[in-house]
Structure 1
Amino acid sequence: MDNASAITVFTLSGLNGTEKYRIPLFVVTFLCYSLIWVANVIIIVTIIMDKNLHEPMYILLCNLCISGLFGTAGFYPKFLSDLLSSTHVISFPGCLLQGFVVHAYIGVDFSILLIMSLDRYVAICRPLVYHSVMTRQRVGLLVLYAWLLPATLVMVGSITTFILKLCDSHIPRLYCINYFVNKLACTASVANFIIPACTYTIYVCHFVIIFWSYFYLIRTCRQSKEKMSKFMQTCLPHLFCLKILGVSLLFDLMYIRFGSVDLPQGLQNFIAIEFLVVPPILNPVIYGMKLTQVRNRIAQLFGKRDPMPHKAEFLMVEFESSCPNPPQDPFEGTQHRHEGVSLNQDIIQAFSAAACLASGSRHGLIRLGGASSGSHTLFRHGEAVFKLKQQVSELLLF
């Protein structure tokens, strides 16, 4: 027990045998970490600066990029310093902090991906109630949940690890995680089985909900080519990010539990850091390339303007009416054509036009379509309200 109480420093053995390659490894790692910062910061700044991107999907994307920076900050600085050092040690508090950051990053990513899948489910399967469901307050609470739940679970696990009596100080890895610290304990603790079991159960439930939402998404989108096109545009990046993170973590978990120590050290290290390299780089790249609004804003950020605005950015509204006394009619019975105005203003005018038609007018029409595509839809008389709301909802969301 005296020996157990004396352990305050851990030795990391993941870099053993790499003395000849440390400078090239340092350069590659530094470039990789720089790329992670540049790619994620561009997405974050673009979303924060552009008020048109202050929508649930983009807010969640922004938090996904922040999570990537948070998680990699727990690994790369320490790893870079180890590459320049002949001794690879970490203090007990530093080890717990590193484990907390890495574990919390994984949990936050999965929680955000869960909320993204639910957001897409409501947007595509129930577009008419999207803005009443995904309100700004509710999105804020969901984002808070995505950060607090993993932080709480990992904090409880870190506290139980901290109070353990340790009988060894050797960690066969590039960085600290609670699992390897728990294996150094002199005696097994029930809490160290219960807490991981609860955590795994919660995130398995996350995965089941994601699977359920995409089952209904795909079933709904198969009904029309337009919905399938929107699914491919907004949901495909989410599926790629989910698959990348899931596969990376699965490889690491399977190796931790069932892997052989006879594997080459380089392969062991790659499996251990794959989820700290691939998702933080590819997440912003995939979303930045696939989502048109984000891509256009990034192009404008670097001084390039997109000559053809996307249909989600601008609407064209034409309205003709002879409403005798419509309540609060902004059009006053005349013909209006409005292009190139911000989305929210056009939405308000479109709904006002629908209200005018619904008020009893027998002579009126609304043309609504994307300004860039030239497409339009005609709505007449009583059917205007429902169809217009559906069309506006779809254009607003995508």
Structure 2
Amino acid sequence: MKSSTLFTSVVLMMAAYSVQAAEQPKPTEPPVSHFQGTCDSDPDGKKFAEKACYTSYNPGKAGTDGTYRPPACDKRKVSDQQKAVLAKAYSRAPDYMKGKLCRLTQLFVTKADVWGPWGWGFWEGADRPPGKGVYLAISDSELATRKSVAETENETVDRLVRLRGRFDRARLLRLRSAAPADPELTVLAGLAHELGHTLLADSNGDGVDPAHPRREVSGPPQSACFEDAFINASWDSRRFHQNMRRWVDFGEQYNNRPKNPDVSLSRLRTLARQGRIGAANDVIRSVYSSHEFASPAAIPNPMEDVAETYKYKVLADATPNQAIEFRLGGQDVNVSDLLNSNVLAKKVECLRALGFLTGQP
């Protein structure tokens, strides 16, 4: 009898809370960044690296069952070698990226999933109390890499295309670089991509539309440039506005489609599955020759487009005296030239307008 009464009381309290939450007006002012506080001088990155801890947290499932707990550290310790890699990658980052990394609520290392050595970036909305967190995780596989940026990009394409056979993967067009492998730059690229996702949510940059689900807890972005620089320039606007999301998983399209049919991820996967590897290679080649997207990893959906644009802007700024150049078949790919092209240049300026390229809160 007591248990039944207690259960009824809890239900009533939850119902009252739900009504109260529903009555809360939607924010109407641009969001205040969760990247707050001050940053200590950290030229060698050791302070940043010391903050890292392991986690098994899955932000894609956070709050989906009606409960929410912030990401937490596991008992496993981050090794000195892993910390050294994180410190070196941080020290290579441009100042605007350091200004965000040092203000993270928590930096995590996570075990690599079976489908790839990927981390994640997570922004904690007001509906997930305390609602002030910004988190980033990088996998231990990435921290152990000895591969170049080009080699890692090739692996990303393999996972995007979802080819399982070694023979078919070997036939795909490959980026190649004459520069020696620079694993620290590769780790920086991974951190930048995941940070790009966190920054997009923090700025609510893709939340121009009042119907975006994040607008329940975050106000309109300080600039509406995402709609013009990303959506109107490169994406099917109707599809995007019908499928707006707060969280995206790697390689998922969520019914999005680029305007340019030559760079469609669906087409790339279909051609590869049919064994038409030459035609699939034409799609990969078109991604770069179109000068619309920074990489094939940008073509699943507009949110990945943002994260990849930010990643390559970070890489270009991290190596100001050394051009990042690739060879793709008979085609030269210069990252700086890509970022300065018409469409991508506007995307970079949009990141600036949204606050991605400042180290201040």
TM over 0.5: no
Greater Cα radius of gyration, structure 1 or 2: 1
TMscore range, shorter length? under 0.3
TM-score scaled to structure 2, two decimals? 0.24
TM-score scaled to structure 1, two decimals? 0.22
Q: Which structure has the highest helix share of the two?
A: 1
